[in-house]
Copies of this chain bind each other. A is one copy, B any other.
Amino acid sequence: MGAMDVRALIFDVFGTVVDWRGGVIRDGSALAAARTPGLAASSVDWPAFADAWRGRYLPSLNRVRTGELPWRNLDQLHRASLDELLAEFGADALGEADRAHLVGAWHRLDPWPDSVPGLTRLKSRYTIAPLSNGHVALLVNMAKRAGLPWDLVLSAELVHAYKPDAATYLSGPGLLGLAPGEVMMVAAHLDDLAAARSHGLRTAYVRRPLEWGPGGTAPEPRPGDELDHVVDSLTDLADRLGA
- CA A139 to CA B135, docked complex, whole Å: 21
Total count of chain A residues near the partner, CB < 8 A: 20
Interface of A is mostly: helix
Chain B residues positioned under 8 Å from A151 (CB to CB): 140, 143-144, 150, 153
Number of copies: 2
| Binary CB contact string for chain A from 142 to 159 against chain B (1 if under 8 A, 0 otherwise) | 011000001111000110
- CA A177 to CA B140, docked complex, whole Å: 10
- CA A137 to CA B135, docked complex, whole Å: 20
Give the distance to chain B from A127, nearest Cβ to Cβ, in Å.
6
Q: Mind listing 25 A-B residue pairs with CB under 8 Å?
A: A127-B140, A127-B144, A135-B175, A135-B177, A136-B152, A136-B175, A136-B176, A136-B177, A137-B175, A137-B176, A137-B177, A137-B178, A138-B177, A140-B152, A140-B176, A141-B177, A143-B151, A144-B151, A150-B152, A151-B153, A152-B152, A152-B153, A153-B153, A157-B175, A158-B158
